């Protein structure tokens, strides 16, 4: 195997948005660096169920809803 083909894999500290910290191994920065997160799984709407809006471009969503509005899977 060639030398110097793999990046340096070392320990860094990750700081979440609520201030909690943990140590992990990464190729980010150099040994002992701190990675401060702006968005993490505790605050991101994708994981917290934040508000979402569907964009209806060209009426696609409304056509889908109209086409399958009466569809039932046997549950009432």
State the pLDDT confidence band at 75, using cuts at 50, 70 and 90: low
Beta bridge partners of 13: 23, 34
Q: What's the pTM value of the predicted model, to 2 decimals? A: 0.54
**Calpha distance 34→28 (Å, rounded):** 9
Burial group, residue 40, by CB count within 10 angstroms (0-12, 13-18, 19+): middle
DSSP state of 13: E
DSSP state of 8: P
Which has more confidence, 52 or 43?
43
Question: Is the pLDDT assigned to residue 72 strictly greater than 90?
Answer: no
pLDDT for res 65? 83
**7-46 pLDDT, tens digit each:** 889 999 999 988 999 999 999 999 999 999 888 877 777 7
């Amino acid at each position: 195997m060639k030398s110097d083909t793999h990046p340096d894999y070392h320990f860094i500290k990750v700081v979440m948005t609520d201030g909690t910290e943990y140590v992990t191994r990464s190729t980010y920065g150099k040994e002992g660096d701190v990675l401060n997160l702006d968005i993490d799984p505790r605050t991101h709407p994708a994981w917290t169920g934040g508000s979402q809006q569907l964009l209806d471009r060209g009426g696609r969503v409304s056509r889908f809803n109209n086409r399958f509005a009466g569809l039932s899977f046997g549950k009432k």
